[in-house]
Structure 1
Amino acid sequence: MPRISAPSVGQHREQVHRRVFEAFSTLLAGHSVDAITMAQLAAAAGIGRTAIYHHFADKEAVVVAFASYETGRYIQDLEAALADIDDPSQRLALYIRHHLDAGQQFHIGSGGHFYGTLSPTAMLAIREHVVVVEDVLRSILSDGVAAGTFIVDDDVTAISLIHACLAPRHLPAPAVERFILRALGAQR
């Protein structure tokens, strides 16, 4: 029977999951997702090679849980940053900067190559995390349209195009911010 290192089983599970996510994040800095093994992940997290399977059925389960964990942290930080800002242009500028600053921390390495190997269920779970982020942007755009700050004919297309502009990490953030705000008709 595994030894628990917390006052309760639930707290122990949270600690182990956090260690696995931290180890996964560290391993991602030097490896693609598909190159990381469950044994490497267990060793980096400081848990037994078989113990990791008590928490995650396989690497795909780790990826989905990691995405949920990272999305939760990302949204919490973003909403805290947006809390005191009312102006839609400033809110969108902050969203853009926040997204660009998050960089690779929020985006799992190896992109489409790895995601193409995920099961349809895992892909759907990952997509749900993307929708949570899109909902924040959708709210900013909706408020901006209501205030007469932005011109958005189709929010689905606008969200997709904005996120496409946020993908190239080599561009200066102020240039990306100006481009997106101008594209939406914002006067700054």
Structure 2
Amino acid sequence: MGLLNLLTSDPTAFVIIALALVLSLAVHEFAHAFVADRLGDPTPRRYGRVTVNPLKHLDPFGTLLLLLAGFGFAKPVPINPNNLGRWGTLWVSAAGPISNLLIALVSAGLLAALPHTDLVLRVLLTVLSVNIVLAVFNLIPIPLLDGSRILGALVPSLGRSLAQFEAMPFSFLIVMAFIFLAQGPIGQLIAQVQRFVLGLVF
């Protein structure tokens, strides 16, 4: 279900979720760019991506998908693996999901430690849930997601095959179709992780 449905049914939830998604996606992409920049790849800085400004990271079509279909994407950070090497590429790929895990941990800590109003509780739970979704989803080892690039760095022969697939015409549409068809199992996996984390907090 897309976010637009919340505009009439629960406008407050729409604003909270939209802001949490925009900021969390921006931090995710910034983390990729920052680590690549620190490891010696000037490509992200050349494209103006070493910033938390959401306008530099949001993809118009990916944002539209998010609003209409309930899942979407930001603009991938351009990197040059030749400047990073195998392990540098792995750390750059892992930086995005790690940033979301850190945000989720901070949110969980605030939920557990601080008194809060209903609105603050709602905001923190939303930020926690959104970042668990982003972290778990991006760690799935399918092409175009961070998980596939981490796997490719660990198994170079597989990484070359994945890179060849991503370079194929229509690879993006194939992956989007797969995600759409597999959204049930993917959603169940993410829900299980969310329940586990919330169980630790409450």
Instruction: Confirm or deny a common fold (TM above 0.5).
Output: no
Q: When you count helix as a share of all residues, which structure comes out higher?
A: 2
Which structure has the greater CA radius of gyration? 1
Higher relative contact order (CA 8 A, sep 6+): 1
TM-score, normalising length: structure 1 = 0.30
- Structure 2 length as normaliser, TM-score? 0.29
